Amino acid sequence: MTSSYYRPSGAVPASGICIVVGFAVAAIPLARLYGWATFRAPFVPDVLIVLVMCMCVGLLVRGAAGVARIRNPHWMRLAGAGCGFFVWYVQWAAWLAYAGVAESPLYLGLRPWTMIAAILETLAELPWLGAACLVVCWLVEMLLLMLPAAMAGSLRAAEPFCEKTGQWASKVDVDVQFETIENVEAVRRRLERNPGELASVLMPCAGDALAFAELTLYRCDGGDSFVTITNYVAAEARSTAHEQTAALLAMPAREVEVVLQIDDPVVELLRLPTADVDPFIRQVSAAGSAA
């Protein structure tokens, strides 16, 4: 029986494995640059460099999953974590080479026991508390490189894919805000019974609203489309979330708008009976303009 929702097929093409490995190998120069930057930078810029690198590795893994057409979120989660660990390992080889342990990062990378001995020697020269703090920092850095990459790969592999055409479904953003779905469970059951009633449960907002629902469509050329409906609320000015986001972006608070998701989506990747979603988009766009 066909599910009401999209479910990844779990396929991992053999060529896809090669592509993921290729992306990981292609990250070696980036990892070496990262090792050089963390070796030269003081602590505060070092933290920023780590965060930027985490984002870069996550984008790399997401791109690899898309190009490789991997539709197995669990496998891609493990592969993403492995890519993050690989980058962490390569940057360690580069860092130790810049510290003078060996002339070549490649030499150290192919000799993990030499790397471990050098790390233990470095720790032995520190007081036990300083050594413990340093080990914790290293482990946190490793997790920061592994976990976002694992999540990015898993989320990408879970996106709709058309098995008939062998292509990812195209994402269609509907530039209309709808009134918040109040009775989420009732609307969810109604749409699961008859997805064709989608237009009747969505009412465009009149003007700017602090609470609203947003719609995302995925068009699949093989004959199906999928929809996700999510409720959002705008964070109040000078709230904790608002102030923290403004500080993170280094922007004046008055120029920052923070939108928070309310609970789980009303429906997530619900299967629609047609791939032709253009009439519906035109309908809700016209209703939104009128509102």
CA distance 266 to 213: 9
Two tokens, residue 221: 């050329």
Which of these, 267, 75, 244, 89, lies nearest to 154 by C-alpha position?
75
Task: Give the model confidence (pLDDT) of 16-51 as tens digits.
Answer: 889 999 998 888 888 888 888 877 766 557 778 888
Task: Give the model confidence (pLDDT) of 65-110 as tens digits.
Answer: 999 999 999 999 999 999 999 999 888 888 888 777 666 777 677 7
Q: Phi first, then psi: what are they for 233, rounded to 5°?
A: -140, 140
Q: How is 47-86 classified by DSSP, letter by letter? A: HHHHHHHHHHHHHHHHHHHHHHT---HHHHHHHHHHHHHH
Q: Which residues contact 63 (CB under 8 A, 6 or more apart)?
A: 23
Convert 277-288 to b/e letters by CB count within 10 Å (16 or more is b): beebbeebeeeb
Two tokens, residue 203: 């009412």
Q: Which residues contact 272 (CB under 8 A, 6 or more apart)?
A: 195, 198, 217, 224, 225, 226, 227
Which of these, 171, 272, 181, 160, lies nearest to 216 by C-alpha position?
171
Under 8 Å between Cβ of 165 and 221: yes
Which of these, 63, 61, 64, lies nearest to 81 by C-alpha position?
61
Which of these, 54, 51, 47, lies nearest to 27 by C-alpha position?
54
Task: Give the model confidence (pLDDT) of 197-240 as tens digits.
Answer: 887 888 888 766 778 888 888 988 777 889 999 998 877 666 66
CA distances from 242 to 52, 55, 204, 230 (A): 22, 22, 26, 20
pLDDT at residue number 269: 92
Two tokens, residue 5: 């929702």
pTM: 0.82
